[in-house]
Structure 1
Amino acid sequence: MENQKQFQFQVNMKGMIELLSEHIYSSPTVFVRELLQNGMDAVTVRKGIDESFKGKINITFEGDRLIFQDNGVGLTQDDVHQFLSVIGQSSKRGELADKDLIGKFGIGLLSCLVVSEAIVVESRSLYKDESVRWTGKADGTYEVEMIPLLDEVGTKVILDAKKAWRSLFKRDEVKQNVLFYGSALPIEVNLIEKGEVEQCLDGNPVWLDNGSSKEQLLDYGKEVFKMKFLDVFRLYSEAGEIQGVAYIIPNKVNTTATKEHKIFLKKMYLCDQATNLLPEWTSFVRCIFNSNALQPTASRESLMNNAVLQESKKELSECFKDYLKTLSITNPEILEKIISIHHMFIKALAASDNEIMTMFEDYLPFETNQGMMAFGEIKETYKNIYYTPSLDDYRQIRRIAGSQNKLVINAAYSYETDLIEKLKRSHAELKLERIAPNDILEEFEDAIEDSQRIENFIDKANKILKRHFCRAEVKRFEPKDTTAIYIANEDALTSKNIQSLSQTSNPFASTLQHFKKKEEVMPTLCFNQQSELVEKVMLIDDDELFEALINVLYVQALMLGGYTINKREMDTFNDALYQFMILGMSNFLPKF
């Protein structure tokens, strides 16, 4: 191995800057965050030496030049070579590196090269009476020189804006970004321009102050999220060293809507998404919290999904549960409002938590064929309670079941079937049964009188309905003004869809034939013998008129059941109406 030589990788700094700006950092404004972070860390180290020390960051504006100056621990010449000039080398050492300091990756300063051609760092160290200037350029070169002793211990970072990013160096823009990224930092930040000083941060955010009142927290939430919240409560996690607040949104929330929060890591803003940290059922809140133990990804714009995060998630879940339990005692009116507005999320929680289910089951509202009803009211009013997990089935049976004085719960929404089945297991005294359209059909009375006429009607109707992959039946049921109902379970609907597609020019039509079951279940169009219109249709001898009426009643039943009408069925309906116009049967049309 004598001929073996060792080489070092070469870094293309231009490519590195492009990588930072286009792929790692989502916005060029992150240079403000990185400079705040470096200044805060330097001050934290100095406070570790002297607890009485008061740190600050001054941001000075000189045209297109920006100067970030902290009074932290400073850097020596050796520090500059070791930490500023080695990409990926973090200057955080010892116990402080993991516990108290924000920075982790040592590449944050490079974000400044996205907006400036060079970075000039001037520093005076607390440990050594010397001052040093380091100049780093985007081409990968850097210079180090000793300079006269600076007046104060600390570090200056001097940036001259690239032409394309001059707007980011304006006072208002910098102030906005300082407040965005650093609003929770426990440090004084001053903006200085033409000798005028404005204190931008005072280091005391209201949501981290345990002495803040609920009114103060709600006012702050309104200012940050531009929303008047219903309520607010505290969040804590020992595992993630999390402290913060959660605001209750005052209106219904779409489950697929983006959940925007304010998440801080060691009091520096990190991101607005709590992916993997907050359970899905917490979508009815907006949170602001800080963590001192969770870890960021390389871009510092999201959280790493690790064991600490998962344990924190469990502890935050308990905060939500404890809040709801406390409300049931201290403020039941607010609890009722929350459940009324956000019952879908509370149901999701109850479906996975027996204690929550037991506490709040009577408050939980369900959609029924008798309107929205709380479960407490349902179990007090009805001995027999029915439910269906299929929205199609619910649409078919809700009206007919109502006429039979049956209560049917629409359990087609997320978590509702699981929740109802849990309620069924916990309430042996209740008769909670799953119901399907065929169950309703079986309870209808058989047709009476003139069985031959009914058989002839069914035979004639079946010849017409066959093209719709449907069969006819005649029963007696309430309400009498319902001429016919379309009854189909999921298997029947699947068979119908396959049958319809297989008859089209769809390139997969021939393949669909292989999916047909040997014993296909056909949907049923059940005609109501008690309907005056149906009785009249049975007496019609004109084949064309009979066919037109059967087609209209078929499509009408689909509409009443809330089914999608395909083009073929719509064409059939329109043809039937045209037939009525020709025959002059306007008085014979069913009323919709």
Structure 2
Amino acid sequence: MTTNQPGHTFQVDLRGLVDLLSHHLYSSPRVYLRELMQNAVDAITARRALDPEAPARITIRTGVGGGITVQDSGVGLTEADVHTFLATIGRSSKRTADGDLDLAEARADFIGQFGIGLLACFVVADEILVVSRSAKTPGAPAVEWRGRSDGTYAIRTLPAGTVTEPGTTVTLTPRADGSQWLEPGTVLQLARHFGSLLRYEVAVVDRHGEATRVNDTPPVWERAYRSPLARREALAAYGKATFDFTPLDTIDLDIPLVGLKGVAFVLPTPAHPTKRSGHRVHLKGMLLSDQATELLPDWAFFAACVVDTTGLRPTASREALYADETLAAVRDAIGERIRQWLTGLAASDLALLRRFLDVHHLAVKALARYDDELLALLLPWLPFETTDGTVSLDEFCRSHPVVLVTQTVEEFRQVSSIAAAAGLGVINGGYVYDRELVHRLPQVRPGTTVTDLDPETVTAHLDSVDPGTELAAAPFLARARAVADRLGADVALRSFQPVGVPAMLVDNREARHDRRRAELSAGADDLWAGILNSLSSSAPRAQLILNHLNPLIRRLAELAGTADPQLTETAVEALYGQALLLSRRPLRPSDHALLNRSFLGLLDFATQAAGAPAADNGTKDPR
């Protein structure tokens, strides 16, 4: 038979709890001041629920015995409140208790929600002294609560008249390893950092009695200005002071559903898509986080925001936003506001739109993939790398009704110079989003044709040489094919512009994959080599296309019957190496060796022609 045992009370090791707070919940000991300011703001809010005309001020005094005091004109605490709230870990004084003021409606105005704020002070203080007089009970005496980091505390009622006005004063006595956080300069900096948008007056007073106000309200975006230009200049100055850059433009944010207002500042320089801006989020005026990366959609990496909200939920540490459906809805709403700003630019300020796209076209391309309306509006203005240079699609399509697009950057580099000389309009589709967007161009610009371009397509636009010319060049081509065969390529003789390009290397994707498989197979064990070899295909090999219009190629063809065969082979290797460099593909060690060997070999032949004896310098191909 089971017997019910009497209930037991959890025992709390305050030192262990303080260690948990300082090393796991809070990111830094500096949050102690935010918690004190937060409690002061909530106390004033509670008193104003009783008396809307009550004073609203928070005074932070530094240089008090090495510590600080934080004094507020809030609702204060009775002796019963002190026993209930300060001596009970985890209970918030904002909660309703029997016989207390019903603050259920006012609670939405409170910043603190978790009831552990005062304990954060133990990360920097050995002792916390709270002196408070309640505004709820006229004539009630002031109460003193003294808590120590060893977990002990004492409470006493002060003589009548000791505290003349309702409110609370908290004094911190620093601990040895936390004194730097209570230094006057640090306190002033932290007060400004956390409290710049608080709705009540906050001042830091030094030991000489000099007061410095730390908050500047109302926020810059809620003030009245003499003109739209003056407002824009004020917002830009605020962005410069906050983020250390002068924004390209500013975007007003207003989401009444969660009481969110603020500004998005457009970065004036490119930002990497994977690097999110640290947005500053204030909760009812108190800084919650200056690294809230989750506030904006991923594609909006070109903006940094400052917002104040009343409806978003903080995490337990109150240093980040709680990821819930409300935050997701806010993120979508801010994304829609930025999208409206973009469409507004297209309708009213094309000069600013062009400046924006020059800097942040990648973000717009990411958004346009999923937004047909924005695609139709902005795609013609977006810049792309083409055979006509980096131009907008609108400008490019005026000259090229048939648009060819490559699948990789390497393919574009192989064919761009030849395609441009042949009058072909080619766009580099190898960058992220580009090929996908170019293929949607006919939706926006009817009558435009978009086709994928393979390097072999370009060779079809090159002029063939007449049979007699090719027959005369047969000895040269035979030696060139022998060299190219060792390099895994074929040789073709064509005529193409520009004349200054002696050779072009055309390499399709299948050939590159086969070559890569062969390289991996050569360095693999028997098992992997067999697997890789089984994956090989019969794809056509790369082509070294020699330009018969180039004087050097014609001269080599004419001399092939009488010149030293080694000279011809070295020249073909040099042509292959130059074509490799022109394609701007990554060079393998064997490619570097070929370039070095052919360069030194040609120098050797040049010095022999000048009358110097041949030198065995290792440039001859041992094969």
Check whether TM > 0.5. Answer: yes
Instruction: Give the corresponding residue for 1:469.
Output: 488
Q: Which amino acid aligns with 1:251?
A: T
Which of 577, 581, 587 is matched with 2:599 structurally? 577
Instruction: Give the corresponding residue for 2:263.
Output: 245
Structure 1 466/275 Cα, relative in aligned 2: closer, same or farther at 3 Å? Answer: farther
Q: Which amino acid aligns with 1:136?
A: G
The 1-side partners of 2:413 and 2:514 are apart by 19
The 2-side partners of 1:507 and 1:304 are apart by 54
Matches within 5 A, 1:352-431: 352-431=370-449
- CA displacement at 1:86 relative to structure 2: 3.1
2:125/2:173 contact within 8 Å kept: yes
Instruction: Give the corresponding residue for 1:534.
Output: 553
Which of 210, 215, 221 is matched with 2:239 structurally? 221
1:271/1:302 contact within 8 Å kept: yes
Deviations 1:130-151, CA, capped at 9 Å, x for gaps: 3322233333333333333522
The 1-side partners of 2:41 and 2:526 are apart by 65
Q: Which amino acid aligns with 1:147?
A: L
Which of 138, 141, 145 is matched with 2:152 structurally? 141
Instruction: Give the corresponding residue for 2:228.
Output: none
Deviations 1:235-279, CA, capped at 9 Å, x for gaps: 122343210012222233333445133221221112223423212
Structure 1 137/436 Cα, relative in aligned 2: closer, same or farther at 3 Å? Answer: farther
Structure 1 398/551 Cα, relative in aligned 2: closer, same or farther at 3 Å? Answer: same
The SS at the match of 1:553 is helix
2:65/2:173 contact within 8 Å kept: no
The SS at the match of 1:163 is coil
Q: Which amino acid aligns with 1:503?
A: A
Deviations 1:404-457, CA, capped at 9 Å, x for gaps: 111222233332223222222333311222212122123323343355566665
Instruction: Give the corresponding residue for 1:113.
Output: 122
2:204/2:214 contact within 8 Å kept: no
Instruction: Give the corresponding residue for 1:82.
Output: 84
The SS at the match of 2:398 is helix
1:74/1:126 contact within 8 Å kept: yes
Instruction: Give the corresponding residue for 2:464.
Output: 446
- CA displacement at 1:203 relative to structure 2: 5.2
The SS at the match of 2:293 is coil
1:228/1:250 contact within 8 Å kept: yes
Q: Does 1:2 align with 2:2?
A: yes
Count residues with an aligned counterpart. 588
Structure 1 239/419 Cα, relative in aligned 2: closer, same or farther at 3 Å? Answer: farther
- CA displacement at 1:312 relative to structure 2: 0.8
2:518/2:533 contact within 8 Å kept: no
Instruction: Give the corresponding residue for 1:18.
Output: 19
Structure 1 525/137 Cα, relative in aligned 2: closer, same or farther at 3 Å? Answer: farther
Greater CA drift, 59-68 or 418-427: 418-427
Instruction: Give the corresponding residue for 2:504.
Output: 485
Structure 1 453/225 Cα, relative in aligned 2: closer, same or farther at 3 Å? Answer: same
Aligned CA RMSD, in angstroms, stands at 2.7
Instruction: Give the corresponding residue for 1:162.
Output: 175
Instruction: Give the corresponding residue for 1:500.
Output: 519
The 2-side partners of 1:515 and 1:205 are apart by 72
Deviations 1:2-29, CA, capped at 9 Å, x for gaps: 2565555544433332332223222221
The 2-side partners of 1:15 and 1:205 are apart by 41
1:118/1:137 contact within 8 Å kept: yes
Greater CA drift, 207-216 or 400-409: 207-216
Greater CA drift, 449-458 or 539-548: 449-458
The 2-side partners of 1:28 and 1:467 are apart by 68
- CA displacement at 1:466 relative to structure 2: 4.2
Which of 84, 95, 104 is matched with 2:104 structurally? 95
The 1-side partners of 2:273 and 2:50 are apart by 49
Instruction: Give the corresponding residue for 1:567.
Output: 589
Instruction: Give the corresponding residue for 2:72.
Output: 70
Q: Which amino acid aligns with 1:560?
A: L
Structure 1 83/466 Cα, relative in aligned 2: closer, same or farther at 3 Å? Answer: farther
The SS at the match of 2:519 is helix
The SS at the match of 2:368 is helix
Structure 1 418/205 Cα, relative in aligned 2: closer, same or farther at 3 Å? Answer: farther
The SS at the match of 1:251 is coil
The 2-side partners of 1:393 and 1:513 are apart by 24
Q: Which amino acid aligns with 1:20?
A: L
The 2-side partners of 1:154 and 1:562 are apart by 73
1:43/1:55 contact within 8 Å kept: yes
Greater CA drift, 432-441 or 556-565: 432-441
The SS at the match of 2:440 is helix
- CA displacement at 1:545 relative to structure 2: 2.7
Instruction: Give the corresponding residue for 2:544.
Output: 525
Matches within 5 A, 1:325-364: 325-364=343-382
Q: Which amino acid aligns with 1:59?
A: I
Structure 1 146/403 Cα, relative in aligned 2: closer, same or farther at 3 Å? Answer: same
Q: Which amino acid aligns with 1:171?
A: P
The SS at the match of 2:252 is strand
- CA displacement at 1:514 relative to structure 2: 5.1
Q: Does 1:310 align with 2:328?
A: yes
Structure 1 505/458 Cα, relative in aligned 2: closer, same or farther at 3 Å? Answer: farther
Structure 1 555/145 Cα, relative in aligned 2: closer, same or farther at 3 Å? Answer: farther
The 1-side partners of 2:205 and 2:404 are apart by 70
1:97/1:104 contact within 8 Å kept: no
Deviations 1:24-50, CA, capped at 9 Å, x for gaps: 222221111111111111111112222
Instruction: Give the corresponding residue for 2:571.
Output: 549
Greater CA drift, 530-539 or 109-118: 530-539
Structure 1 379/86 Cα, relative in aligned 2: closer, same or farther at 3 Å? Answer: same
Greater CA drift, 306-315 or 210-219: 210-219
Q: Which amino acid aligns with 2:187?
A: V
TM-score (norm 2): 0.87
The 2-side partners of 1:344 and 1:420 are apart by 14
Structure 1 559/587 Cα, relative in aligned 2: closer, same or farther at 3 Å? Answer: farther
The SS at the match of 1:234 is strand
The 1-side partners of 2:506 and 2:88 are apart by 73
- In structure 2, the gaps of 5 or more residues are 96-102, 226-230, 611-623
Structure 1 460/116 Cα, relative in aligned 2: closer, same or farther at 3 Å? Answer: same
The 2-side partners of 1:476 and 1:111 are apart by 79
The 1-side partners of 2:66 and 2:535 are apart by 73
Which of 184, 207, 214 is matched with 1:194 structurally? 207
Q: Which amino acid aligns with 1:499?
A: A
Deviations 1:196-255, CA, capped at 9 Å, x for gaps: 241413551433415242222222222222222232221122343210012222233333
Q: Does 1:278 align with 2:280?
A: no
Greater CA drift, 458-467 or 184-193: 458-467
- In structure 1, the gaps of 5 or more residues are none
Q: Which amino acid aligns with 2:602?
A: F
The 2-side partners of 1:546 and 1:460 are apart by 7
The 1-side partners of 2:10 and 2:93 are apart by 22
The 2-side partners of 1:70 and 1:587 are apart by 96
1:207/1:245 contact within 8 Å kept: no
The SS at the match of 1:276 is helix
Instruction: Give the corresponding residue for 1:40.
Output: 41
| Percent identity of equivalent pairs | 30
The 2-side partners of 1:265 and 1:185 are apart by 9
- The structure number with the bigger radius of gyration is 2
The 2-side partners of 1:336 and 1:236 are apart by 26
